[in-house]
Amino acid sequence: MEIMYRSTRTNSEPITSSQAILRGFPQDGGLYVPTAVPPLEKSLEELAKLDYRGVAYEVMRLLLTDYTEKELKDCINGAYDSKFDVQEIVPLKKAGDAWYLELFHGPTIAFKDMALSILPYLMTTAARKNGSGNEIVILTATSGDTGKAALEGFSGVEGTRIMVFYPKHGVSSIQERQMVTTTGANTRVIGINGNFDDAQTSVKELFTNKALVEEMAKNNMQFSSANSINIGRLTPQVVYYVYAYTRLLAEGAIKAGDPVNFVVPTGNFGNILAAYYAKRMGLPVGKLICASNSNKVLFDFFSTGVYDKNREFILTSSPSMDILISSNLERLIYHISGDCAESCAAFMKELKENGRYCITEKMREGLADFVGGYATEDETAEEIRTVYENFGYVIDPHTAVASSVYRRYRAQSGDMVPSVIDSTASPFKFESSVMKALGKKTDLPDLELADELSTTAGVPVPKAVSDLKDAPILHDIVCDRKDMEKEVRRFLGI
C-alpha cells in the first residue's frame, strides 16, 4: 500500500513521504497527514523477536513507502547506534505497578533524540531522491529539548544549515548550556525575549514569508522544519510504542492482543499523536493518557471539547511542556472531523483569530481513546519524591507529571490495564528541580549538582552533562521577536 501525504487544510495533490519530509509543511499553513493509516504487517509475536532497529524498519517502511529498503535501513542504522548509551536503545524499567519507557538515552538525554537522530538522514536522503540541489535551512523554535537534539543531529551535515530560537528565560540552565556550546559552522543559536509560543509563531511566519522564501530560492536555499510538525519526526516516534508493547510481550507481562495504556507527558502533542497512529495501525492500545502540567489547555480540551489558549502562560519545572498552542493537535482535529480539510481549516482560522474553537459532539466521539489529566507543580514534586522513596527510582519533572496523572487515573477509574509511562527526559537534564523535589540542597554549580544527583540516584552522570564542563560558549545572541527575520538573513548572508 503506497502512503501519500496531504495537507490538513486544503485538498491539494498528495505528495510522497520523502517530499513531505523535505518540505516539512505545506504552504497553506497546515500540516501533512497520511492519506491512509497502514496496518502492521508482521504479527506482534514476530515483532517481539526483533531488536529496536528491526522494529523501526518494520514500522517505518509502512509509513515512508517511497524510501527503498536500503535507504531506510541506512537511515535507521546511522541513527540508532552507539550514540545511544544502552544497547536496547529504549529500556523499559518497572517501578511499582507501572513501566517507564526510558526514551532519553540518546546524545542530548531527552526523547527528542528518538526522532532527531534519524531526521537528518531521512531529509538528506529525501533531497537526493527528489533531485533537490538546494541547501536545506532548518529553522526551529524550541521549548528546550528540540533545539539541542536538532543541533546535534544536523551539526556538520553537508547541504544543511540549522538555526534554533529558544525563549531566553524559559529553559533550564543545563538546556541553555547544551545549546550555546554547540559546535559546527552550519549552526546558529539565538535566545529570544519571549516565550515558546512567541518563538514558534514567529518561526511559522518566517516559513511562509514570501519575500524571504523567494530570495532564498534565488540563492539555492529552501526552508525545512525539524519541529515535531515534520512527518519525519512523527514516524520514528510510532516505533517505540510498538517496541514497548512487544517487549512486554517478550517478557511475558502480557499476551498478544492484550491492551496496554500509554501515559504521555504532552506539550506540542507530537509524542502522543504517534501513539494514536500506532493504535490505528493495529497495536492493541487501551487508553492514551494525555498528561499536562499547569498549562492544562489539553486537559480542558478533552474535558469540554473547547480548545482555548486565552489564558496565562505559566513557567513550570517541566518547561518542554509549557505550551498553549499544541501544533500537532491539528492532525487529530483533521482525523476526527472525518479527514475533512475544510472543517479543519475553519477551526484553525478560529484559533488564529479568537484563540479558541469548539469541536462538534460528533467529533468528540472520536476522542474516546483519550483521557486528559494534569499535575500541578506541587503534585509533580511530590511524585518525584514518592517514586524515589518507594522504588529508589529517580524521574525527571516531565515524566513525573505523567506518573502523577497515571496514579490518579488508576485510583479514580479502576482501570487496571498494564500501563507504560513515557519517560521523556533524564533527571540530569532538570537536576535542580529534581534535587529540590527530593529535599536536597541545590545551590551548587551545575556539574557539582550532577555529581550529587548521581550519588542519590545510583546512576552515573551522563556524558551529555559531563562534557559540558569544559565546553566554551559559542552562541550569545539575544533578540526580540521582531528581529528574528533580520537574524535569519544575517545567518544566511542574504
Ligand X SMILES: *Cc1c(COP(=O)(O)O)cnc(C)c1O
CA atoms within 13 A on the CB side of 477: 17
User: In the bound complex, what is the minimum distance in angstroms from residue 313's beta carbon to ligand X?
Assistant: 16
By beta-carbon proximity to ligand X, the closer residue of 18 and 108 is 108
Q: Please, what is the minimum distance in Å from the beta carbon of residue 40 to ligand X?
A: 22
Is 362 an active-site residue? Answer: no
C-alpha cell at 463: 556524558
| C-alpha grid cell, residue 202 | 514567529
Q: Which is nearer to ligand X, 63 or 488 (CB)?
A: 63
Residue of 220, 202, 215 whose CA lies nearest to 161: 220
Dihedral, CA atoms, 343, 279, 93, 459, nearest 10 degrees?
-40
Rg of the chain on CA atoms, in Å? 21
Nearer to ligand X, 112 or 287 (CB): 112
The rounded distance, in Å, linking the Cα atoms of 456 and 439 is: 11
Q: Nearer to ligand X by C-beta: 110 or 434?
A: 110
Q: Give least dist CB 326 to ligand X, A.
A: 7
CA-nearest of 316, 317, 297 to 307 is 297
Residues that bind ligand X (CB under 6 A): 110-112, 145, 228, 265-271, 320-321, 398, 424-425
Q: What stretches of 137-230 show up as alpha helix (H) in DSSP?
A: 145-154, 173-180, 196-207, 210-218
Q: What is the separation of C-alpha 395 from the centre of its chain, rounded to a whole number of angstroms?
A: 18
Q: In terms of DSSP bridges, do strands 32-34 and 5-7 run parallel, antiparallel, or are they unpaired?
A: antiparallel
Cβ neighbours for 241, distance < 8 A, ≥ 6 positions apart: 262, 274, 275, 278, 283, 285
In whole angstroms, give the CA distance from residue 27 to residue 5.
14
CB atoms within 10 A of CB 251: 12
CA 429/CA 446 separation, integer angstroms? 10
Residue 174 near residue 430 (C-beta atoms within 8 A): yes
Q: How far apart are CA 372 and CA 402, in angstroms?
A: 11
Per annotation, catalytic residue among 42, 83, 93, 112:
112
Output DSSP code: residue 482: G
Query: Which of 71, 152 has the CB closer to ligand X?
Result: 152
Q: Which positions are catalytic?
A: 112
